Structure 1
């Protein structure tokens, strides 16, 4: 009887070792951006960086611009765009987490075109 059990043992498949569970890759930075022109509608979106994503339509380009300035859109270089002198004060807000620090930036631009000229793709959503 023991001989039968010894022969049957090799026929039982070995149990595969389970791979260790890993947490999903979370973005290093998660931001909520909003644009509020005085004469216009509030627009808001979410931007994640490292890896780029979220609801922002230009997420990869926006993250590429924010990485060298550590998430501080006020340090972005002007794009050189030509804008009219229309007065439509437009508030840009960026809140959330940039890597390990909390950020909360706001700035008012004279109109939406000037906002885009100074912030590139970051507020182009």
Structure 2
């Protein structure tokens, strides 16, 4: 019994003398805050369509999430600042409201714009509202 106590006492005293083998984890690069958005398209003559889009990393239910995020990154999530494409659209009058709400890099966003028809909407917003 005395031997066991002596052994444990020696081990307890020697433990702090043994060098540790744990290594510190490398510092990780700071991650950009995620951007989570709800997008909707409401044509006057048609049904409401809604989807979810997350960026950084790209994902969500949006069928072109990666391309949509690539387009939104340079304009800081404001689809109204996207450049129009050279699409050929008819002169059909079907006012179509595009709405984007949620969070872009930790900042609340709430944008909406009305376009003359769905084709013009896609011409001005590319893949962002192509879902």
> TM-score band, normalised by the shorter chain?
0.7 to 0.9
- Measure the CA separation in 1 of the matches of 2:124 and 2:98: 11
Q: Which residue of 1 aligns with 2:73?
A: 67
Unmatched runs of 5 consecutive residues or more in structure 2: 8-21, 26-30
Cα RMSD (Å): 2.1
Runs of 4+ in 1 over 4 A off after TM superposition: none
For normalisation by structure 1, the TM-score amounts to 0.79
Q: Which residue of 1 aligns with 2:110?
A: 104
Q: Which residue of 2 aligns with 1:76?
A: 82
Contact (CA 8 Å) 1:27, 1:49: kept in 2 or not?
A: no
- How far the C-alpha of 1:79 sits from its partner, in A, is 1.1
| Matched pairs, number | 107
- How far the C-alpha of 1:100 sits from its partner, in A, is 1.4
Contact (CA 8 Å) 1:27, 1:51: kept in 2 or not?
A: no
Per-residue CA deviations over 1:10-63 (Å, capped at 9, x if unaligned) read: xxxxxxx9xx9xxxx996100000000000000000000000000000000000
Which of residues 89, 92, 97 in structure 1 aligns to 2:98?
Answer: 92
Structure 1 or 2, whichever has the larger Rg, is 2
1:1-125 alignment runs, 5 A limit? 28-125=34-131
Contact (CA 8 Å) 2:42, 2:96: kept in 1 or not?
A: yes
Unmatched runs of 5 consecutive residues or more in structure 1: 7-16
For normalisation by structure 2, the TM-score amounts to 0.76
